[in-house]
Amino acid sequence: MSVSVSIENVSKTFGVPGTEFVAIKQADAQIQPGEFVSILGPSGCGKSTLLDMVAGLATPSRGTVSIHGQPVTGPDERMAMVFQQMSLLPWRTIQANVEFGLEVRGVGEAQRRRTAREMIDLVGLNGFEEKYPSQLSGGMNQRVAIARALALDPEILLMDEPFGALDEQTRRIMGIELLRIWDKSGKTIVFVTHSISEAIQLSDRILLMSSRPSTIREIIDVPLARPRSIEDLSSETARDIELRVWKVLLEETGAK
Amino acid sequence: MLQFRVSPNLLSILLIQAAALVAAALAMNALGGIFPFLPGPTHIVEEGAQLLIRPEILQDFGVTLLEASFGLLIAAGIGISLGLVIGSSAALVSFANPLILALYSVPKIVFLPILMLIFGTGMGPKIANAAVHAAFPILLNTLVATRDTTVRHEKLGQSLCMTRLQFATKILLPGIVPPVFGAIRLGVGLSFMGALLAELFQSEAGVGHLVHDLYNSGNIAGMLAIILAVLVIIVSLNGIMAAVENRFSRWREI
Amino acid sequence: MATTGSLLAGHRAFPRNSKRSQKLGQLIFVVGFFLILELLVRSGILNRLIIAEPSRVLLRLWQDLFTQELWTAFLVTFWEVGVALVMSLLVGLVGGGLLYHYSTVRKALQPVLVGFYSAPAILLYPVFMTLLGPNSLMIITMATIMGAVPISVNLAIGFGGIDPILLKLGRSLNLRGPRLMGKILIPAATPVLFAGFRMGLTFALIAVIGLEFLTYSGGLGRLISWRYSIFDSEGVYAAIAIVCCLAMAVNYALGVMERRIVNRF
Ligand SMILES: Nc1ncnc2c1ncn2[C@@H]1O[C@H](COP(=O)(O)OP(=O)(O)OP(=O)(O)O)[C@@H](O)[C@H]1O
Ligand SMILES: [Mg+2]
């Protein structure tokens, strides 16, 4: 089977020659189709930058990112992205926001209404269809952004701290929902997070990044059976992984 | 901010500016071909060089400068104090704002006859006209900024148990400085416009009078030189004030 | 520069439609103001040669409504403002799009453009008088230029000030050119855009009325200066009132249009 996302020998430098700023020094990773991979690392280490390069929103300074063997040259219909920042269109209702991607891709009105409703339902925002983003909480808005990406039914879903604005409980529940969708659809998911327990709850593998100028320091397998119960998540294996990640992160941020 | 290293980008900006100047000069030359009475760029510069060293002409510039400055001072005084008073109350704002906005859209020059009726001749109506022109943006900006800052930081002030005076000096005034300064900068151009329009209509002294005279005596090159000089003065004043503004409100990145 | 944009965009933060009681209060305030003025003039505290009584101005206004002089002047001004507004909208939209697209050109011309619309560009009128003569064509040309500059500058500012994450969203969906314009750029920039239209309108009005006034060529501006020159002070006040009404009406119409369009998105 071909590799879904391949990151080879990638580095990213910002700024003009003379005053360069190395964000990512060296990154290599292979992500299999249907895999759920998390990216974890200290703040500002280049997680969003790496995800942008996969999405075709930024070009690597060196190396290549490829999807099924073809180098990424720009945004691709096979991928959809959930951004870290609030990215809803403030002048559109929730319904119209979720429909936005479909509308842009030329999906017919009836079809897109239906899909959008389903997705709104899925993220638990029934009854908010005609509200505007400014009338919803931060967490609710983030769920709308997830619904917008899911509505596109991408093969590869790129998510940049999608649950960052949510509280612990909602985060867990959304995680379970996401796993359900993932399980049913067989999507490949690349998921940036700063929560170690979330990474363990969700992923097959964790890409652990070092601090800037960053590398992918370790790739950690999460060999927990699925579906993962609360018990699984506090098992010996889970705690070992958590400990290992903590050690690396503390070392990277210079704490003891 | 205050570094003057020439980056490639700055270089291309300067190049485009130079190109625009040349294009403007060429355009004037071309227009001169169509309209024979339009003087060429060199003629304008020569005429300007002769005029701008004459003391009586410098005096005209002084008169206009004086009128515009006085007008701006009055406009700022009235605009800022009225803006603070109205802006401090939500009810007053929603009451007064529609009235102010309605007046804002009226071309202020229509009030010139009234000002001439009230202040007669001389500098009075010119200063008043300058003030009327500059006052509205200052009033509006102060009002909007006062309201915005108050609403945005009200809870912070309450949570820290600030007194009204503390709130005013520590939050409100620093908060409104950048937009008010911006409005005063806008007011510079407007107060000049007010003074000059009054001088053009009631032609007694000042640059407006000078332009009027040169036009009537058919010295088009001289008139153009004077107008360009005025525009250069105003654009430079505007540029200087914008630089000062940037220097002091770096936190206000947009 | 940003201040001008945010100044006018900021107005949106305040309700334009006030409550009925408030409208009544505003009416009472305005009527009260004129009543007091009336009393002050009648009692001789204010000189009647300087300030005409509001009642006499009102009467004059009524009489004026039946004269051809007023209607001709009104139509001339209306025509000039209308043509100039449409033209400056067209020129401004194209100019703003170009300025936004070529950011280096924008940076290069910024000081001149901003200086231009904060500066009394109207001062250039003798140049246009020499070129075109004191007529409607000259007035429309100048008003178009004066109106187009703030529109294009605000458009460029508005596009430039759009939250970068929205542009990134557009890019991730492969939106380009006109579709990016229609789906993201224009809706996101609408408030600033309308602030620009409003400024363009204000400047075009200044140019039209101001030039009519100064050059005694046609329209309501000339009516004011003509009446002033024959010491017809009631007439001056009546004509001023008409200009005020015209300006407010056009401004109001723009406001209604803005709300319609914003509700579309
Ligand atoms: N467009 C840019 N120009 C210059 N530097 C940038 C740019 N984008 C990101 N950087 C720099 O690259 C580094 C990595 O940024 P990035 O946003 O990828 O971090 P991150 O790991 O996502 O951080 P966080 O966890 O806080 O979201 C940061 O130091 C940032 O300052
Ligand atoms: Mg990030």
- Selected residue with higher pLDDT from C5 and B141: B141
**Residue A210 Cβ < 6 Å to ligand 1:** no
B93, two tokens? 């704002």
C114-119 mean pLDDT? 63
Could you tell me which chains touch chain C, where touching means 3 or more CB pairs under 8 A?
A, B
Greatest alpha-carbon span in chain B: 73
Write down the pLDDT at residue B161.
65
CB pairs under 8 A between B and C: 194
**Residue A85 Cβ < 6 Å to ligand 1:** no
Closest CA to B99 of C32, C38, C9: C32
A223-239 mean pLDDT? 89
**Polymer length of chain B:** 254
User: At A191, phi and psi to the nearest 5?
Assistant: -130, 110
- Which residues in chain B are contacts of C104 at CB distance < 8 A? 9, 12-13, 16
With a pLDDT cut of 90, the percent of chain B lying above it is: 13
In this prediction, residue A2 has a pLDDT band, given cuts at 50, 70 and 90, of confident
C202-211 mean pLDDT? 87
According to DSSP, the residues that pair with A38 across neighbouring strands are A191, A206
In this prediction, residue A189 has a pLDDT band, given cuts at 50, 70 and 90, of very high
Closest CA to A40 of A180, A210, A164: A210
Closest residue (by CA) to atom 4 of ligand 1?
A14
A183-201 mean pLDDT? 92
- Selected residue with higher pLDDT from C92 and B5: C92
Answer for the pair A83, A160: CB distance below 8 angstroms, yes or no. yes
Answer for the pair A144, A88: CB distance below 8 angstroms, yes or no. yes
In this prediction, residue C1 has a pLDDT band, given cuts at 50, 70 and 90, of very low
Nearest to B235 among C13, C119, C213 (CB): C119
With a cut of 90, say whether residue A207 has pLDDT above it.
Answer: yes
Among A130-139, B47-56, B244-253, the range of highest mean pLDDT: A130-139
Distance CA C153, CA C107 (A): 11
The minimum-distance atom of ligand 1 relative to the CA of A49 is 18
A247, two tokens? 């050690």
Closest ligand to the CA of A160: 2
The minimum-distance atom of ligand 1 relative to the CA of A194 is 25
Answer for the pair A149, A74: CB distance below 8 angstroms, yes or no. no
- DSSP-derived 3-state class of residue A22: strand
Q: State the Cα angle at B247 between B246 and B248, rounded to 5°.
A: 95
Closest residue (by CA) to atom 12 of ligand 1?
A23
With a cut of 80, say whether residue B5 has pLDDT above it.
Answer: no
pLDDT in tens, C44-71: 787 777 778 888 888 888 888 888 888 8
* Separation in Å, CA of A249 to nearest CA in chain C: 29
Answer for the pair B212, C139: CB distance below 8 angstroms, yes or no. no
pLDDT in tens, B139-182: 988 888 888 888 877 766 666 666 777 778 777 887 788 788 88
Nearest to B141 among C7, C114, C228 (CB): C7
- Which residues in chain A are contacts of C12 at CB distance < 8 A? none
Write down the pLDDT at residue A61.
93
**Residue A12 Cβ < 6 Å to ligand 1:** no
With a cut of 50, say whether residue A36 has pLDDT above it.
Answer: yes
- Which residues in chain B are contacts of C28 at CB distance < 8 A? none
With a cut of 50, say whether residue C15 has pLDDT above it.
Answer: no
Distance CA A188, CA A5 (A): 9
Write down the pLDDT at residue B1.
33
In this prediction, residue C11 has a pLDDT band, given cuts at 50, 70 and 90, of very low
Answer for the pair B105, B167: CB distance below 8 angstroms, yes or no. no
Answer for the pair C115, C52: CB distance below 8 angstroms, yes or no. no
C126-151 mean pLDDT? 84
The minimum-distance atom of ligand 1 relative to the CA of A52 is 18
Beta strand A214-221 pairing with A21-31: parallel
Distance CA A159, CA A139 (A): 15
| Rg, chain A, Cα only | 18
C135-154 mean pLDDT? 86
Closest ligand to the CA of A13: 1
With a cut of 50, say whether residue B3 has pLDDT above it.
Answer: no
Write down the pLDDT at residue B148.
82
Write down the pLDDT at residue B129.
92
User: At C163, phi and psi to the nearest 5?
Assistant: -50, 120
Answer for the pair A73, A240: CB distance below 8 angstroms, yes or no. no
Domain A5-78+155-253 class?
A: alpha beta
Nearest to C172 among A75, A86, A103 (CB): A75
Write down the pLDDT at residue A17.
76
Nearest to C166 among A77, A87, A101 (CB): A87
In this prediction, residue C18 has a pLDDT band, given cuts at 50, 70 and 90, of low
Write down the pLDDT at residue C190.
82
Domain coordinates of chain C in residue numbers?
2-46, 55-264
Closest CA to C122 of C143, C94, C107, C99: C143
Domain coordinates of chain B in residue numbers?
57-253
Answer for the pair C265, C187: CB distance below 8 angstroms, yes or no. yes
Weakest mean pLDDT among A176-185, B152-161, C10-19, C81-90: C10-19
Q: How far is CA A116 from CA A92, A105, A149, in A?
A: 13, 14, 10
Residue with tokens 């003379």: A18
Write down the pLDDT at residue C13.
40
Distance CA A168, CA A185 (A): 26
Counting ligand 1 atoms within 8 A of each CB, the residue from A24, A45, A85, A208 with the most, and so the one to mutate, is A45
Distance CA B244, CA C7 (A): 19
C6-34 mean pLDDT? 64
Among A164-173, A190-199, C30-39, the range of highest mean pLDDT: A190-199
Residues of A with CB under 8 A from a CB of C: 55-57, 74-75, 77, 79-81, 83, 85-87, 89, 91-92, 100-101, 103-105
Reduced to 3 DSSP states, what percent helix, strand and coil does chain A have, rounded to the nearest 5?
Answer: 40, 25, 40
Greatest alpha-carbon span in chain A: 57
Q: What is the dihedral of CA C252, C258, C261, C262, to 10 degrees?
A: -130
With a pLDDT cut of 90, the percent of chain C lying above it is: 2
Closest CA to A150 of A196, A101, A204: A101
| Strand ranges in B23-171 using DSSP code E only, listed in sequence order | none
Domain C55-264 architecture = Orthogonal Bundle (1.10)
Q: Which residues surround ligand 2, an ion (CB under 5 A)?
A: A 48, 84
Write down the pLDDT at residue B173.
82
Closest CA to A19 of B8, C5, B174: B8
- Which residues in chain C are contacts of B116 at CB distance < 8 A? 228
Could you tell me the distance, in angstroms and rounded to a whole number, from the CA of residue A45 to the centre of ligand 1? 7
- Cβ distance of C173 and A75 shorter than 8 Å: yes
Domain B57-253 architecture = Orthogonal Bundle (1.10)
Average pLDDT of chain C to the nearest whole number: 80
With a cut of 80, say whether residue C227 has pLDDT above it.
Answer: yes
With a cut of 70, say whether residue A9 has pLDDT above it.
Answer: yes
pLDDT in tens, B181-223: 888 888 888 899 899 889 988 878 888 888 888 888 878 888 8
Write down the pLDDT at residue A1.
55
Answer for the pair B178, C10: CB distance below 8 angstroms, yes or no. no
Q: State the Cα angle at A192 between A190 and A196, rounded to 5°.
A: 115
Which residues are CB-neighbours of B96 under 8 A, at least 6 positions away?
B86, B143
Average pLDDT of chain B to the nearest whole number: 80
With a cut of 60, say whether residue C180 has pLDDT above it.
Answer: yes
Closest residue (by CA) to atom 9 of ligand 1?
A49
Domain coordinates of chain A in residue numbers?
5-78+155-253, 86-153
Write down the pLDDT at residue A187.
92
- Cβ distance of C174 and A75 shorter than 8 Å: yes
